[in-house]
Structure 1
Amino acid sequence: MTIKPADKPASLTPLASTGAPSFVVFLRLAPLTLAVFIAFLTIGLQLPVLPLHLKDALGMNATMVGVVVGAQFAAALLSRAWAGNQADLHGAKRAVVMGFMAAAVSALIYLASLALLDRPALSVLVLLAGRVVLALGESLVVTGAMSWGIALVGPQHGGKVMAWLGIAIYAAMACGAPLGVAVSHVYGFAGICLVSLAIALLALVLIAGLRPVAPGASRRTPFYKVLGAVWQPGLGLALSSVGFGVITAFIALLFAARGWGDSSLAFTSFGVAFIIARLLFAHLPDRIGGARVALVCVLIEALGQLLIWQADASALAYAGAALTGFGYSLAFPGFGVEAMRRAPPQTRGLAMGAYVAFLDLSLGVTSPLAGALASQVGVQGVYLAGAVLVGLSMLVALHLMRSPGEGT
């Protein structure tokens, strides 16, 4: 149902640009942040389990693991424009609700793939279908939640919106990874599917009681118009996201290859460092400029990738994952603030969709290419490549510092 501007509750008017402390912003965003956290536990559960399921239960090689993992991000890329327009035209709440429903359906598709274990190729195809549906859900949730959050607190707090929602997403991944390993050990991949379904339904129940905000646009905006405004910070996001991508897809395989045991603590190290950085420094992109923050953070992230590349013990890999998470944490809102400043106010949902599409592009391309590289030079080599590509995003940050966007 389309919400008319007159229907927007007075309590949901954006916070004033002056006198709104971070705690007030946090309280306004807290219910939405909690719902996003619960929903993304679904993805967190799968991070350490899906690559090993593909390798051990279905006999797939590293290249195919990269293809299946990357399929979610490729599908999300193709759905960002649609998801952004859904949020702008029909309301952010509707987009988020649709996203949670899609996540529930993807869990059912995953469950169906288990009936085909004796036909591995077909089972992988069903898993791919589940990844595509999950991608649609993730795209709707992220785009809708960002649009909803910015409408709640105002664009002057856009960096905080991205920071807090990012905390929810990566906290869910940090908590979900060891939970996924525990569930898998007891109940196998079927347990992962059932818990994922329950989590998606719980998020749907939680979001149902939250009040909507009015749609921000009355007609569809062509994607290319917004893409032209955000492509430069989007390129910075794409390059900086490579570090996250190679941890997501290959850290479990690295630990297995090195005989280091359970990899879930690497995801937890990444997530905890990510959260600490945002708790301490989430205000910086709004205060001193997104490009300045991104410049420092991608350097830290690149150092983390180099540490994993050189790691000869699991403790060093944990430290590298933590540095990667700490640096990537503020790279996303840093480049994101620059994207928001360059986009028309009435298309913020679509602009955020276009911006996040660069993350999808990065992860969708990184996973299969890194898988092919791992097949040739070993899994550890993908982290040297990750360091190089993350380092290139420093050049984008420097360029953005020299050409600041117009305020919105």
Structure 2
Amino acid sequence: MSDTVASRSPAGHAAVLPRLLPLVAIVFLGFSAIGLPLAVLPLHVHGTLGWGAAMVGAVVGLQSLATVLTRRHAGVLCDTRGPKRAVLGGLAASALAGVCYALSLAITDPALGLAAILLGRLVLGFGESLFLTGALSWAITVVGPHNAGKVMAWNGIAMYGAMAAGAPVGLALLQAGGFGAVAVAATLAPLAGLLVAALVPAVPVPGGVRMPFTAVIGRVMRPGFGLALGSVGFAVLASFAPLLFAARGWPGAWAALTAFGGAYILARLVAGGLPDRLGGRRVAVLSLTVEAAGQLLIWSASSPALAVAGAAVTGLGFSLVFPALGVEAVKRVPPQSRGAALGAYVAFFDLSLALSAPAAGLLVAEGSYAPVFLAGAVAAGLSLLLTATGRDAPAPQA
């Protein structure tokens, strides 16, 4: 299907969401393989296998490292073999990760059991890189690059929805059937996504000369750095909001994270199409301003209610940063290099999440967690400055 087919006409525009839904479902099922075991893995590694906190951290972080290192391969595969091939391979790898988790139960040696878990995390990171980059590229080709903001908004809802639902479901499965039940669910979810992907028609691979990956990075570097800085607020909120509440003796730390997630999803549902209509740079400037205000509200909060309100405002602002700057990134490359551009762009987000929390942790002194939220506001301000002083990207390329 050509990029010019969908949504050039009013009828095509109205049909954008129904055409996106199968691909959004694929992302939800793929990310369920990440969300289901996320809260359970630390318990298994520490409680069952007997490893310490440092190894628990390594197990959790290894997936992100593998994802970052394979984004380039995922993008090139989308551009050369088609996004469907990348999605199918990524979902298969994600299912294999669940098999590795199950193997850790069948091995009596704790070291070998840990090795099976680590292998699963590596495979899952590779799988996520493939299926997410492929799903984004596939969807943008189906509905047209001028609907890239909607694509990223709805895929973000699928990602965070799977993560939010996966944690409690994973814990419930652990109580009902042990870690083996979690491993089975983490295997079946991406296999279900694989079935959905197999039924969705493939799109042709664009012809023409593809840009070198280094040149692609140069094209998307400005929106990529903007995304990295704009994601710091999310990283510090997820990592330090519960600690802030605990240090101050405030109840209801869960409310801050729930408020963030609810506002995040609401903004995408209500305003997810704004980057396509108003331009990514304009929406990003507004979103980063709101995010910075939310971080400042948490930093200065004198009560849990104010901190929860700051988390909600942060969620409203951060929600559209990824799709807004993503629209700018996609516009900067020809269609035959779109997969590489998406892979490079998302890698900035991966790196931000991997580095922000450890770096912000250096600002914590004697149980005072407020400075990390000031750092989040400063990072959003720097992203705002970088974005506002840039130029609008050219019109979407078909």
1:3-402 maps to which residues of 2 (within 5 A)?
Answer: 14-20=5-11, 22-50=13-41, 60-61=52-53, 67-113=58-104, 119=110, 126-217=116-207, 221-249=211-239, 267-309=257-299, 318-370=308-360, 382-400=372-390
Q: Which amino acid aligns with 2:78?
A: A
RMSD: 3.4
> Are the counterparts in 1 of residues 33 and 95 from structure 2 also a CA contact under 8 Å?
no
> Are the counterparts in 2 of residues 181 and 264 from structure 1 also a CA contact under 8 Å?
no
Once residues 201 and 138 of structure 1 are traced to their aligned partners in structure 2, the CA distance between those partners, rounded to angstroms, is: 13
Q: Which runs of 5+ in 2 are unaligned?
A: none
Counterpart check, 1:405 vs 2:369: no
Once residues 308 and 178 of structure 1 are traced to their aligned partners in structure 2, the CA distance between those partners, rounded to angstroms, is: 26
> Are the counterparts in 1 of residues 71 and 129 from structure 2 also a CA contact under 8 Å?
yes
> Are the counterparts in 2 of residues 298 and 328 from structure 1 also a CA contact under 8 Å?
yes
> Are the counterparts in 1 of residues 7 and 14 from structure 2 also a CA contact under 8 Å?
no
Once residues 380 and 197 of structure 1 are traced to their aligned partners in structure 2, the CA distance between those partners, rounded to angstroms, is: 40
Once residues 358 and 234 of structure 2 are traced to their aligned partners in structure 1, the CA distance between those partners, rounded to angstroms, is: 14
Residues 207-264 of structure 1, C-alpha deviation per residue, up to 9 Å, x if partnerless? 2211111112466642101111110000011111222333445556667777878976
Summarize the Cα distance change of 1:100–1:266 in structure 2 as closer, same or farther, 3 Å threshold: farther
Summarize the Cα distance change of 1:267–1:181 in structure 2 as closer, same or farther, 3 Å threshold: farther
SS of structure 1 residue aligned to 2:202: coil
Summarize the Cα distance change of 1:203–1:127 in structure 2 as closer, same or farther, 3 Å threshold: same
Summarize the Cα distance change of 1:128–1:40 in structure 2 as closer, same or farther, 3 Å threshold: same
What is the number of equivalent residue pairs in this alignment? 395
| CA apart distance, 1:157 | 1.2
TM-score by length of 2: 0.85
| CA apart distance, 1:335 | 0.6
Summarize the Cα distance change of 1:210–1:376 in structure 2 as closer, same or farther, 3 Å threshold: farther
Greater Cα offset, 253-262 or 89-98: 253-262
Percent of aligned positions that are identical: 48
| CA apart distance, 1:192 | 3.0
> Are the counterparts in 1 of residues 64 and 125 from structure 2 also a CA contact under 8 Å?
yes
Once residues 30 and 371 of structure 1 are traced to their aligned partners in structure 2, the CA distance between those partners, rounded to angstroms, is: 39
Greater Cα offset, 210-219 or 356-365: 210-219
Summarize the Cα distance change of 1:190–1:382 in structure 2 as closer, same or farther, 3 Å threshold: farther
Once residues 303 and 37 of structure 2 are traced to their aligned partners in structure 1, the CA distance between those partners, rounded to angstroms, is: 24
TM-score by length of 1: 0.83
